[in-house]
Chains A and B, each alone.
Chain A
Amino acid sequence: MIDNPVLRIIAKIIIPMILLFALYVQFHGDFGPGGGFQAGVIFAAGFILYGLVFGTESLRSAVPPAVLRLLIAVGLALFAGVGVITMLAGSDYLAYNALSEDPIAGQHLGILVVEFGVGVTVSAVMITIFLAFAGRNDP
């Protein structure tokens, strides 16, 4: 579909907006509707659109599968790591109060990092699933 100028130009215009909107959903998640899962899916949608328009090969060179695999693990490690840090701080698993002197700031920081971990893993998994299906007929 790379030959179609309308698709190509529209995609180039809206992909940055999709990514920006995903970041908004991600970081506004603790004040309003949204959060890591939704943001991760939206973020991945931007990449999937890129893959649809410019081909899976281009997508694969933009985000190599090895990087995706690393991101899946990093997101999970962020989530689990916050829990381990609170445990090391002498509190229960994922008890964010232990992250800061001020419990409210601790809760804020904790949920922010955890949701970011969720977002990273979800978007990487989404792109991986897309590549796995779209790339089935590739050599």
Chain B
Amino acid sequence: MINGQLPALQVVVPLIAAALCLVLSRPGAAWLITFAASVVSMLVSLLMLEEVLQSGVIDYAFGGWAAPFGIAYRVDIVNAYVLMIVSTISTVVSVFARVSVASEIETHNQGFFYTAWLLCLTGLLGIAITGDAFNLFVFLEISSLSSYVLIAMGSDRRALTAAYQYLIMGTIGATFILIGVGLLYALTGTLNMLDLAARLPEVADSRTARTGFAFLTVGLGLKIALFPLHLWLPNAYAYAPSAVSAFLAATATKVAVYVLLRFVFSVFGVEFALGAMPLALGLAVLGSIAVLSASTVAIFQQNLKRMLAYSSVAQVGYLALGVSLATPAGLTATLLHLFNHALMKGALFVALGCIAWRIGSSRLEDFAGLGYRMPWTMGVFVVGGLSLIGIPLTAGFISKWYLVLAALDKGWWPVTVVIIAGSLLAVIYIWRVVESAYLADPPAQTAKAEAPASMLIPAWLLAIANLYFGSHTDLSVGIAARAAAGLFGAAP
């Protein structure tokens, strides 16, 4: 019986946990609830992923109202895959968060912090599971509003302006998405994605459909932080608390990319979205510029959290390139990179969080000699960095390899050049850190001063995952390929 209720539990468990967190605002209790709720969400998502892989799509009608009248959840491989990424990252990063948050956030605010964390998790999971376009918007707002709060809690005062900037940009993006959904509703009279997909082809050749599509893609472009709509991202990630940077960098843009994929492939259909509309060209051009420009900007950053944030903008470029190819191979590469990028950015931001906990800074000039003071933490950073560059035997190599293959298959060799150039630029910005940490003249005290085990274990889990999925690709590539085939197949 419990198996049939999994889709509801996926969202309800973190939501109820958020309410509990608000009441028991003691930091220890709030952390324990957050961790427990993340673990339960992870187990639920793994069970659903297994069920979907074994026996196909899971449908769930809320309140017993069947689609298209009620709100229906519909879990296929893509949903289950994204849910698994989000809940796993939340679990791993929440282990790291306990000590990190205790040092960065005032005690009386920690209860609120974990409440916002759980609401953000609820929103992200809800976006990834729902089969209803308006319900998706509601969850998008839940996750966005709570992430503004999370970012504003950063100890640097600039976190407030960063959160405000994100609030304005994010709200514009959400408004665009709502207008897009509203236009589709006006056109078809339905909000259920499956129903939309069935009714849209008849009316696709209308100005309303094209306008709705344009509003949706621009709004989602803001949420994804696709160049040139990425301006909110660097500050938001740079000044947020360390745990929040790791959590959001590994999940928030991923979920937004999922929404784009869902609308492009499942709701509008490939022929309309990437054929009749010039989205493929737009994504290819903007994705290429994002890879090249954001990677170049990353080289000149002194604040390493900002550097990684710009690198995230570049990675979004890779994701966009994969979609723009409009082939199952390109889509597989994008889906694969969603997962692999979550692993590498998670590892890198968690490593930076350990360093910030120890030396109270994430500026490059303070990194001299860190390779000797914090060997284990820097080890994670190096593994994550290698994966970000795309060195063979790391997860990053696998997704870049599939992306290059897909681009060559399509005959888009300039895209291949962009991907390789982006990797070379990544070598430069990662090398700066390695050089400073291992080769620069160390300062006077070089006694070992590692981060505590509760921070190192999640960091190493992510680093080992980067190595594991770099050499054992059956699982990740298998699921991504099946998910891509599913998106290219019939409706959701």
Q: Do A and B come from one complex?
A: yes
In the complex, identify which listed stretch (B17-25, B223-231, B430-438) lies at the interface while the others stay far away: B17-25
Tell me, yes or no, whether B5 is within 8 Å of chain A by CB. Answer: yes
- What is the CA–CA distance of A74 and B23 in the complex, to the nearest angstrom? 9
Cβ-closest chain B residue relative to A91:
B64
Tell me, yes or no, whether A131 is within 8 Å of chain B by CB. Answer: no
Q: Which of B14-34 contact A (CB under 8 A)?
A: 15-16, 18-20, 22-23, 25
- Shortest Cβ distance from B208 into chain A, in angstroms? 30
Given contacts A69-B25, A80-B12, contact A95 B63 (CB under 8 A): yes
Q: A54-88 toward B: CB 8 Å interface, digit per residue (1/0)?
A: 00000000000000011011101100110110010
- Shortest Cβ distance from B35 into chain A, in angstroms? 19
Cβ-closest chain B residue relative to A90:
B1
Interface residues on B, range: 10 to 19
Checking A76, A92, A96 against B19 with a beta-carbon cut-off of 8 angstroms, the contacting residue is A76
- What is the CA–CA distance of A80 and B12 in the complex, to the nearest angstrom? 7
Q: Tell me if A93 and B63 are in contact (CB < 8 A).
A: yes
Tell me, yes or no, whether A97 is within 8 Å of chain B by CB. Answer: yes
- What is the CA–CA distance of A54 and B459 in the complex, to the nearest angstrom? 53
A contact residues around B391 at 8 Å (CB): none
Checking B12, B18, B62, B64 against A84 with a beta-carbon cut-off of 8 angstroms, the contacting residue is B12
Q: Tell me if B8 and A97 are in contact (CB < 8 A).
A: no
Q: Tell me if B16 and A80 are in contact (CB < 8 A).
A: yes
Tell me, yes or no, whether B61 is within 8 Å of chain A by CB. Answer: yes
When A and B form their complex, what is the total count of cross-chain residue pairs whose Cβ atoms lie within 8 Å? Answer: 49
Q: Tell me if B22 and A92 are in contact (CB < 8 A).
A: no
Checking A73, A83, A97 against B12 with a beta-carbon cut-off of 8 angstroms, the contacting residue is A83
Checking A72, A74, A84, A94 against B63 with a beta-carbon cut-off of 8 angstroms, the contacting residue is A94
- What is the CA–CA distance of A94 and B64 in the complex, to the nearest angstrom? 8
Tell me, yes or no, whether B318 is within 8 Å of chain A by CB. Answer: no
Interface residues on A, range: 20 to 34
Q: Tell me if B8 and A83 are in contact (CB < 8 A).
A: yes
B contact residues around A73 at 8 Å (CB): 19-20, 22-23
Cβ-closest chain B residue relative to A93:
B8
Which of B5, B22, B64 neighbours the largest number of chain A CB atoms within 10 Å of its CB? B64
- What is the CA–CA distance of A7 and B23 in the complex, to the nearest angstrom? 36
A contact residues around B64 at 8 Å (CB): 91-92, 95, 97
A contact residues around B16 at 8 Å (CB): 76-77, 80-81, 84
Tell me, yes or no, whether B60 is within 8 Å of chain A by CB. Answer: yes
- What is the CA–CA distance of A95 and B61 in the complex, to the nearest angstrom? 9
Cβ-closest chain A residue relative to B11:
A93
- What is the CA–CA distance of A69 and B30 in the complex, to the nearest angstrom? 15
Q: Tell me if A87 and B8 are in contact (CB < 8 A).
A: yes
Checking B1, B5, B18, B25 against A93 with a beta-carbon cut-off of 8 angstroms, the contacting residue is B5
Q: A95-125 toward B: CB 8 Å interface, digit per residue (1/0)?
A: 1110000000000000000000000000000
Cβ-closest chain B residue relative to A75:
B19
| 19 sample A-B contacts, Cβ–Cβ < 8 Å, listed by A number | A69-B22, A69-B23, A69-B25, A70-B23, A72-B22, A73-B23, A76-B15, A76-B18, A80-B12, A80-B19, A81-B16, A87-B8, A90-B1, A92-B64, A93-B5, A93-B8, A93-B12, A93-B63, A95-B63
Chain A residues with a Cβ under 8 A of chain B: 69-70, 72-74, 76-77, 80-81, 83-84, 87, 90-97
Known: A73-B22, A93-B12, A95-B64; 18 extra A-B contacts, CB below 8 A, are: A69-B25, A70-B23, A73-B19, A76-B18, A77-B16, A80-B15, A80-B19, A83-B8, A83-B12, A87-B5, A87-B8, A90-B1, A91-B64, A92-B61, A92-B63, A93-B8, A93-B62, A94-B62
A-B pairs with lowest CB-CB distance, top 3: A95-B64, A93-B8, A94-B63
